[in-house]
A and B are shown apart, each in its own frame.
Chain A
């Protein structure tokens, strides 16, 4: 351990004295401190904080990824500069040298990441002290941005029985007679079930619907709020593109107060109802009733039809943690990625000269970050001719590449953090486990490659 510590200490000293780390520290400081000054003052505080969080976290992750790759250069320099010969003539196993390098790199990036996290936290809190644009801005900042909320989608009603009954009825009444050979009962029942569920989420004019939620484990005191977040598709809306409707939230049968909300919502956008938390029942359930009618006299309203395409289009959000904890968990996931990246970069410099290793590692980072996008992009290719051939070739290539390269976008909680969504501990533990295993495997490969390498230059 002392040898690993000596190499790690040396790596940190080298990166600081060679000013590599100092350059990145300056860049991060400029980003974290300078960014809030560039944001427009007329924006709402909540939007400004969201923009700051999004750019600063993304920027810090990018800078530290680049730094990690550059720090791996220290090993490459030692090989080129010959210092490795003096070191490897000393009683240090090669694997300890590689591990020492890795520990040095991740210690430095870890400290910088932690420092960045503290700076981001402090700056966000400082920005939150600005006078909010209005009451809604203040509420949004507190309950939608600088918080950690868990989301629960509406309870889906199981229409299997009804779908089966309807299928049998149609069969008996001869509704399928014309097409009986083509109907697969199982598929048809599934179709009927989906249709019924969709019908349930659709409200014709003057209809009302009850949506229920469970497992809302929030603080039920009245001064706290929960949010009902929804996005409805609307047909036959008014010229001003405003949907007018009425909500009743609460369950009088279970002794909670019922809160009424008369809403004017811009259509096809996400909206939130801020509901006092005491509307949640002691059984951690919530009842919300939506009336498709115009509560505002004299305002235009046509025969709106409201539809929620999927169950997740209506969800209840409630606070389960703090912004600080959320940020720390997000930073932990970034750290896991940096650890894997450091191991990969070291493995590459064990084999290649630094320029080549640098390019390969950047390619690895790009593929790991964009793997989801690249895979999804194949959907847009047509299944004909040369496009089909390209699609098949790319698909095969991606399968091989992404069997080795992890999907970093799976472990990116920035968008959740920015929207005050909880970055769950389970998610973080999954990242630690999966990326940790990847790091271990890559690290072992790096040690193996370095063990086989002839470290002396061929200067005979």
Chain B
């Protein structure tokens, strides 16, 4: 394996069984999981509530111990303190000290990383600015909204400029600004060579930022691969152009018909996503200096992030060997799309319908694949005249 492709995090046969008071197996949370997070990628861990995402992350961080299987982070066990110096972690809830203010919170974590006071102060200022809480930094976190606390949670995860960032449900409780910001931060950090493991059940978030994903259900891996591979619709073609007149569309339709191609399924003007529209509205409000006691629009990403150069992998392997820490003999997990699986998009749609309280064993498989092809994407706001013309043509054709 090319050293640069050496996985940052790897699990082999990872299993976690929670036991009851009498040490009897209560529930299988993670079952024989093989994961591989590669250097520099944004890796998504998807699944409904209770699918084992958070348990997997807690085992990666040494907060839970596996019942079976092995874990390797930077080639070392997850309990290795040196490894943790290279990791940033945002838990599923912010889990902060309510009696501290934002600055004190970040100061505490900076001290744990043994940062000098000057460096600590600089980083805290930049992070507070980055998450848009510089003006509220003296307020106790107990007074913060959930979203504001989440922002501080993100800031604490970045205080050490981590090489590997683990984000567990990072957008939970955030307003659209915060969600957008998190995504921007993830993209920015990825562009600086950071490795990111993102756990979420909000599919749009994952789709927007992840390079590769693994879908978990009942603690077992159901599908793994790159977003592009998993979501690509080989049976459709999409053309995007400047706005066309109805005559031109008619010509295109006729051209396709003449060339024996299939019919156009939808034609219309693409609309902006609601997220973009919302961001523009907020931006306009801020320009009018409207009052708000909440988080401000976030600043630019803190410039110290990305300063830390990834450790030379060869050196790291040598040092790991010196310390006689067994590097787990994990067989690299290949990107694969299980033949038996449904198209990923359909799985994702099914996952969104899964009962959140479900924690049953993974033997309960997903519903059988439907023969019905995936539904066509909803038609965007369109030029009604063009649509009407197309419908009319279709009717005429049918009548004939």
Contact = CB atoms under 8 A, between A and B. Distances in A.
A460 B55 contact: yes
Interface in B109-127: 109, 111-114
A88 B64 CA distance: 11
B64 A454 contact: yes
A320 B359 CA distance: 73
Given A454-B63, A460-B50, A90 B95 contact: no
Contact of B95 (A81, A93, A458): A81
A91 B82 contact: yes
* Secondary structure dominating the interface of A: helix
Contacts of B29: 458, 460
Contacts of A17: 99
Contacts of B93: 82
A396 interface: no
Interface in B79-111: 81-82, 84-85, 87, 89, 91-93, 95-97, 99-100, 104, 108-109, 111
Contacts of A85: 58, 61, 63, 89, 91, 95
Nearest to B83: A91
A180 B340 CA distance: 105
Nearest to B219: A460
A5 B153 CA distance: 22
A416 interface: no
Contacts of A86: 89, 91, 95-96, 109, 153, 156
B95 A89 contact: no
Contacts of A460: 16, 18, 29-30, 50, 52, 54-55, 359
Contacts of A81: 95
A14 interface: yes
A92 B91 contact: no
A88 B96 CA distance: 13
Nearest to B52: A460
Contacts of B85: 91
Contacts of B91: 82, 85-86, 89
A6 interface: yes
B112 A6 contact: yes
A38 interface: no
A125 interface: no
A92 B160 CA distance: 13
A459 B87 CA distance: 22
Nearest to B50: A460
Residue among A3, A93, A456 with max Cβ neighbours from chain B (10 Å): A456
B77 interface: no
Contacts of B81: 91-93
Interface string A156-199: 00000000000000000000000000000000000000000000
Contacts of A92: 81, 84, 112
B63 A456 contact: yes
A81 B95 CA distance: 7
A5 B85 CA distance: 18
Nearest to B63: A456
Interface string B46-71: 00001010110010011111000000
B375 to A, nearest CB: 32
A87 B109 CA distance: 8
Interface residues of A, number: 29
A3 B113 CA distance: 8
Residue among A6, A7, A86 with max Cβ neighbours from chain B (10 Å): A86
Contacts of B166: 89
B99 A18 contact: yes
Interface in B27-46: 29-30
Contacts of A284: none
Nearest to A14: B99
A458 B61 contact: no
A2 interface: yes
A448 to B, nearest CB: 14
Interface string B363-400: 00000000000000000000000000000000000000
Contacts of B18: 458, 460
A14 B61 CA distance: 26
A88 B57 CA distance: 13
A13 B104 CA distance: 10
Interface in A80-109: 81-83, 85-93
A455 interface: yes
B58 A90 contact: no
B214 to A, nearest CB: 16
Which are the 8 A-B pairs with shortest beta-carbon distances?
A6-B111, A456-B63, A82-B95, A460-B55, A89-B89, A91-B85, A456-B58, A17-B99
Given A82-B91, A89-B87, A91-B81, 9 more contacts: A3-B112, A5-B111, A6-B112, A83-B95, A85-B58, A86-B156, A90-B112, A90-B160, A93-B81
9 contacts: A7-B112, A85-B61, A88-B63, A89-B84, A89-B87, A91-B81, A91-B82, A93-B81, A460-B359
Interface of B: 16, 18, 29-30, 50, 52, 54-55, 58, 61-65, 81-82, 84-85, 87, 89, 91-93, 95-97, 99-100, 104, 108-109, 111-114, 153, 156, 160, 166, 359
Interface of A: 2-3, 5-7, 9-10, 13-14, 17-18, 81-83, 85-93, 454-456, 458-460
